[in-house]
A and B are shown apart, each in its own frame.
Chain A
Amino acid sequence: MSSSIFSDGSSKIKTSIQHINSLDEAKFKKLVQRIAEKTGRQNETIFTIDELNKLENAFGLSIDNIKQMIESIEYMFLQSAYHLIKPQILENDLINEQNFDENKAKIFVEQWSANAKEIVERLKTSHIASHSLSDIRWTLDVGITQGSKSKVKRPIAIYEFQLKNEQTKQIENIQTEFNKDELYAFFEKLESIQSQLDTLMT
């Protein structure tokens, strides 16, 4: 038990595994596929209430047991992602340590191999900062006349930064304007950030 990556799972996992082992294989495959697609997405529930009811009928298990099962499978995906576990090791773990049925273990590992990249990608890019930049819009205007001066030719860049508040999902629009010199200075800063990124990535 101590070498399994799921060793900090509770007894809930054990009962879920028993239910899993008793499931029909094709149904299990679809279930795992669906869970793999949704693992790692923030603030999204994997199955709606209606779908849970349908599953209840399909599997012949109570809703609580189904929920537990879904949670366990999701937990197993997350743990696999955490350790970036190789499929073969995962299979051994499931079969030997967690008493998974062999065929079910194969199905699980298959889904893991197929979806591992995406799940890890999703986990990597999940934000924990309070605000993040969700979109950038801009226009280039040219001022041609104003109250204090007739005849000017003044190009002005107007940026609209859209910041998304991670908790409330609200978008805040920040409008700023840049004249030519300011835009150059801004661009120079962006270039220095890019060169730092390049040295970091090599």
Chain B
Amino acid sequence: MPDHHSYQDPFYGWTTPKTISLCVQKLKECNSLPFQAIQKLISMSEAQILNEQASSSSSSSLEILMKFSKNHSISIENLLVIFNGFVHVLRLALKPPAAFLKSDIFKDDLRDLKFSEQIIEGFHNILFGTKRDQLYNIIQERDRPRLPFLQSFDWNLDVTLTTASLSRCIEPLLFFQFHTTDNRCLTFEVPIKKFNELRYNTALLLKEMEEVDGKQALKLLET
């Protein structure tokens, strides 16, 4: 079996990132830290990626780190370095497309980084475990810049019967209300002609989107 190093770069890049090498170093120094605590740190790093934005979880993870620091008399800085290293490993592993990360190659790479077997097992369970799809989804959808998108879209179709200028009118009147994610509430009238244009363009866009998968240039991105 050819060594995978000849055809695939390790998941962490060409050189060992400083974060990870520091983490491994600290782990060696703090060998008084029981594996249970390490296990807890690993699961906390998974939680860190999943709930990046919820402030409650980050303060509680800091509290947990403080508790460990007291119980096992290890300085909080060292614990932070270790925790940071774990989160970094997870992020790097999630970066390439899901199909690229093979179980044994991943474990091999982690061994090259000098992590202990138990820790490697812990990482492996996270990345190939139950929350795998959720993790990949969050990394792709949440952690990128986004323009505001529509949170809700309400519409009103009224019929104008009479106006100040016409006694018999019978004209449809369309109103839209957009709530966008940047907290704007836009209420506006849509003339029927514009509505038809909008509908036509949306159908056209959907067709183009379907065709994106078939475009030659993008076949290079097949994962």
Among B144, B149, B195, the residue within 8 A (CB) of A176 is B149
A residues in contact with B144, CB < 8 Å: 143, 146-149
Q: Which of B95, B186, B205, B218 has the largest number of chain A CB atoms within 10 A?
A: B205
A126 sits at the interface (CB 8 A): yes
Among A40, A129, A197, the residue within 8 A (CB) of B175 is A129
Dominant SS among interface residues on chain A: mixed
A120 sits at the interface (CB 8 A): yes
A144 sits at the interface (CB 8 A): yes
B residues in contact with A129, CB < 8 Å: 175, 187-189
Whether the pair B199, A190 counts as a contact (CB closer than 8 A) is: yes
Whether the pair A133, B206 counts as a contact (CB closer than 8 A) is: no
Cα distance, A131 to B191, chains bound together (Å): 11
Whether the pair B139, A149 counts as a contact (CB closer than 8 A) is: yes
How many residue pairs at the A-B interface have CB separations less than 8 Å? Answer: 159
Give the residues from 154 to 202 in chain A that come closer than 8 angstroms, CB to CB, to chain B: 154-155, 157-158, 163, 174-178, 180, 182-184, 186-187, 189-191, 193-194, 196-197, 200-201
Among B146, B165, B186, B209, the residue within 8 A (CB) of A78 is B165
Whether the pair A176, B218 counts as a contact (CB closer than 8 A) is: no
B residues in contact with A183, CB < 8 Å: 202, 205-206, 209
A residues in contact with B91, CB < 8 Å: 148
Give the residues from 201 to 222 in chain B that come closer than 8 angstroms, CB to CB, to chain A: 201-203, 205-206, 208-209, 212-213, 218, 221-222
Whether the pair A155, B180 counts as a contact (CB closer than 8 A) is: no
Separation in Å of the A179 CB from the closest CB of chain B?
A: 8
Which of A14-22, A54-62, A79-87, A98-106 lies on the face that meets chain B? Answer: A79-87
Which of B39-47, B109-117, B122-130, B166-174 lies on the face that meets chain A? Answer: B166-174
B residues in contact with A131, CB < 8 Å: 186-189
Among A82, A83, A148, A151, the residue within 8 A (CB) of B139 is A148
Separation in Å of the A8 CB from the closest CB of chain B?
A: 13
B residues in contact with A78, CB < 8 Å: 165
- List the B residue with the shortest CB-CB distance to A193: B155
Cα distance, A82 to B168, chains bound together (Å): 8
Per-residue CB contact flags for chain B residues 159-202 toward chain A (1 = under 8 Å, else 0) read: 11001011111011011101010001011111110110111011
Chain A residues within 8 Å of B, Cβ to Cβ = 40, 78, 81-84, 120, 123-127, 129-136, 138, 140, 142-144, 146-155, 157-158, 163, 174-178, 180, 182-184, 186-187, 189-191, 193-194, 196-197, 200-201
Could you show 29 A-B contacts with beta carbons less than 8 Å apart? A40-B165, A83-B167, A120-B166, A129-B175, A129-B187, A130-B188, A131-B188, A132-B191, A134-B194, A136-B194, A136-B197, A140-B205, A140-B209, A143-B144, A148-B143, A149-B94, A149-B97, A149-B139, A150-B96, A151-B97, A152-B140, A153-B223, A155-B212, A158-B147, A176-B147, A176-B178, A182-B150, A193-B195, A200-B157
Chain B residues within 8 Å of A, Cβ to Cβ = 91, 94-97, 139-140, 143-144, 146-150, 153, 155, 157, 159-160, 163, 165-169, 171-172, 174-176, 178, 180, 184, 186-192, 194-195, 197-199, 201-203, 205-206, 208-209, 212-213, 218, 221-223
